[in-house]
Amino acid sequence: MGFSGVTPTDGGPEPDSESALLLHSPLRSAKPEDKLHLAYIIYFTLGVGYLLPWNAFITAVDYFSYLYPEASVDRVFAVVYMSIGVFCLLIIVFYAHKSEAYVRINVGLGLFVVALLVVPVMDAVYIKGRVGLYDGFYISVGALGLAGIADALVQGGLIGAAGELPDRYMQAIVAGTAGSGVLVSVLRILTKAVFPQDADGLRKSANLYFSTSVVVMFLCLVLYNVAHRLPIMKYYGELKIEAIKEEKEGKRPLTGPVWRATLWNIVGTIKWYGFGIVLLYVVTLSIFPGYITEDVHSLILKDWYPVLLITAYNVFDLVGKSLTAVYLLENAKVAIAGCVVRLLFFPLCIGCLHGPQFFRTEIPVSILTCLLGLTNGYLTSVLMIMAPKSVQIQHAETAGTVMVLFLVVGLASGSVIAWFWVI
The pTM (predicted TM-score) of the whole model is: 0.87
Q: What is the pLDDT of residue 252?
A: 53
Q: Quick one: CA dihedral 298, 301, 307, 309, positive or negative?
A: negative
Rg (CA), the chain: 22
Residues 183-212: what's their mean pLDDT? 92
Return the percentage of the chain with pLDDT > 70, whole number: 88
Residue 148 CA to residue 81 CA, distance in Å, equals: 5
All structural domains of the chain, each given as residue ranges with its CATH number in brackets, are 18-23+36-419 (1.20.1250.20)
In this predicted structure, what is the pLDDT of residue 198?
Answer: 87
Which pLDDT tens digit goes with each residue over 15-73? 444 444 444 444 455 678 888 899 999 999 999 999 999 999 988 888 998 999 988 88
Could you tell me the sign of the dihedral formed by the alpha carbons of 333, 396, 155, 45, in that order? positive
pLDDT in tens, 145-162: 999 999 999 999 999 999
Per-residue pLDDT at 32: 86
| Residue 242: per-residue pLDDT | 81
Q: What is the tens place of the pLDDT at every residue in 285-334?
A: 888 877 766 667 777 888 888 889 989 999 999 999 999 999 999 999 99
What's residue 15's pLDDT? 40
Cis preceding-peptide flag for 289 (omega within 30 of 0): yes
Residue 190 has pLDDT above 90, yes or no: yes
Cβ 63 vs Cβ 198: under 8 Å: no
Cβ neighbours of residue 115 closer than 8 Å, sequence gap 6 or more? 53, 143, 144, 146, 147, 150
Q: Assess whether pLDDT exceeds 90 at residue 217.
A: yes
Q: pLDDT tens digits, residue range 71-81?
A: 888 778 888 89
Distance separating alpha carbons of residues 151 and 421, to the nearest angstrom: 27
Show the CA angle centred on residue 76, arms to residues 132 and 176, nearest 5°.
115
Percentage with pLDDT > 90 across the chain? 58
d(CA 379, CA 399): 17
- Can you give the pLDDT at residue 255? 58
Confidence (pLDDT) at 300: 84
Q: How confident is the model at residue 264 (pLDDT cuts 50, 70, 90)?
A: very high
pLDDT, mean over the chain: 86
Residue 307's contacts (CB-CB under 8 Å, 6 or more residues apart) are 185, 188, 189, 192
Higher-confidence residue: 73 or 373? 373
The total number of residues written for the chain in this structure: 423
Q: Is the pLDDT of residue 267 over 90?
A: yes
Q: Is the pLDDT of residue 111 over 60?
A: yes
